Structure 1
């Protein structure tokens, strides 16, 4: 199941929250789940440049038939000067 509310602002940051839990008796009966099958709950919160929430989406998956994959592009590290210290930093401290 997926619930989504969307707004007309450009997201700049996305926060993904993932957790697992057992369904309630009512949830298991509603979905016809066998005993012992946990849920994976995924919530994505999108923020604009001012860190205001512009979108929230919730999704539920059954853990016995779901695989999640997360890919995180990373920004390149700052270039190092010939002295072995990162440029733009003093003393090599972060």
Structure 2
């Protein structure tokens, strides 16, 4: 059972990474390098694993939803910072 959940998370991560890979073939607006794909894969896969952990361990539905929403917001904030430097840290993109 555990292997099936990991496979689903991995397949979902790979599917999401196909979106920018395909977009790069049609437009110059999407310009990802290998490191961008590695960082995105780590972010997406780790978020999927943590959400799976929350779904298995937290029994209260309200807490479950709140934690998952907080995790997704955190993912989006980190993604935005790495992409365009929303918060002005040294990690931000150009």
Q: Same fold (TM over 0.5)?
A: no
Higher helix share: 2
TM-score (norm 2): 0.24
Looking at both structures, which has the greater relative contact order when contacts are Cα pairs under 8 Å and sequence separation is at least 6? 1
Question: Which has the higher Rg, Structure 1 or Structure 2?
Answer: 1
TM-score (norm 1): 0.24
Higher strand share: 1
